[in-house]
Amino acid sequence: MVPCVAYGPRRASVLLRSHMTAAAGQSLAVWADRARATLRADVWTYIAAGAEEGCTALANVEDWRSIQLKPHVLNDVASIETDTEFLARRVTLPIGVAPTGRHMLIHRCGESATADGAAQAGAPFILSYFSTQTLEDVARAAAPGIRWLQLPMGLEEAVADDMISRAGAAKFDAIVVTVDQPVAGFSPAAARAPVSVADEIRHVHVPGTPRAVIAFDPTFDARLSFAMDRTIDDLSALTARSTLPIVVKGILRADDALRCVEAGAAALIVSNHGGRHLDGAVSSARALPEVIHAVSGLVEVYVDGGIRWGTDVLRALAMGARGVFVGRPPLWGLAAEGRDGVRSVMEQLGAELRTAMALCGTPRLRDLSPDMLAAT
């Protein structure tokens, strides 16, 4: 492995202290505050809102915190390595950007800025089907990096196949299929602050390129993405047709994980959609161990939902996740500083992860294991 950080023993402690100082001065909470001050109130609510009372959105954050760490001591941590592989492609950080839609509501440069900032930080990026810029435009505008394309399960076969073909031509590496939203959830907070969408901001991948209203909006056409009659057979058919690996997003149960693997999934993402649709769903932190145990190394498992610190990343990797994705934090960076804000947010999480690894006596990702987590 090529180390991402390789310091001589005399400098290691000084530089790791500098990482901790940076974390204290510009935590993700600071980015959230800056984004809230920058954005219109309706757009901020769109980003922040959870379903119903927001219990699952809150649990996503709090449940990572509830897992206590059992660090090793007296191990050589002068060189910290954070590189790994996502679907056989080398990445320098096991932290990527989760799919979120409508980035031109947040910044005029939209998804191109998000993808570019992620690539500059060495972070994989998942482009949402509900992007406001085409996948081809994003690929041209952003620095080279790992990019996956997210599609909803409810797309018509011809639309899905066309998107997969375009993604392959644009050098995307995988397709992420979201399976946990057969209907839209309800958010009272979002309903009280409907998002005003300018006519020029469009869902550019959706047939007819409709105005980019959000799923909580009563004018959103559910036929664009939702299909209540989709089953595991449809997933099997999609994996059989696809020229790119299929990653299934929205898994919270062992039995569903195994069914998706049997249907041809190349990887799974444990996720409850950021707590945005089913309030009361189990948090990602609590669902992850069950899914990891069920698939037992058959496919790579990732997780998103509530990750706000490098220590949260470390907890997920210690459970057995190959990597994590974050959704709201990159949007905070995008709102505050555009591309550079996205890059800074992802670099911040990477710095915090390296500090956490050093403090836990684990210089390589392969040193992380479940026995580092206290039983609850």
- Catalytically active residues are 273
H-helix segments, the chain: 9-25, 28-38, 41-48, 55-65, 110-120, 135-141, 157-169, 188-192, 232-241, 254-262, 284-295, 310-319, 328-359
DSSP 3-state of 323: strand
Residues 243 and 173: their CA atoms lie apart, in Å, by: 10
DSSP 3-state of 313: helix
Residues 247 and 109: their CA atoms lie apart, in Å, by: 27
User: Would you put residue 197 in left (φ > 0), alpha (ψ -120 to 50) or beta?
Assistant: beta
The identity of residue 107, as a single letter, is H
The identity of residue 111, as a single letter, is E
Of the candidates 268, 272, 270, which has an alpha carbon nearest to the alpha carbon of residue 298?
A: 268
C-alpha torsion sign, points 268, 270, 272, 274: negative
Whether 104 and 131 have beta carbons less than 8 Å apart is answered as: no
Of the candidates 27, 43, 19, 71, which has an alpha carbon nearest to the alpha carbon of residue 314?
A: 71
Q: Which residues contact 33 (CB under 8 A, 6 or more apart)?
A: none
DSSP 3-state of 274: helix
Dmax (CA) for the chain in angstroms is 61
Of the candidates 347, 247, 339, which has an alpha carbon nearest to the alpha carbon of residue 301?
A: 247
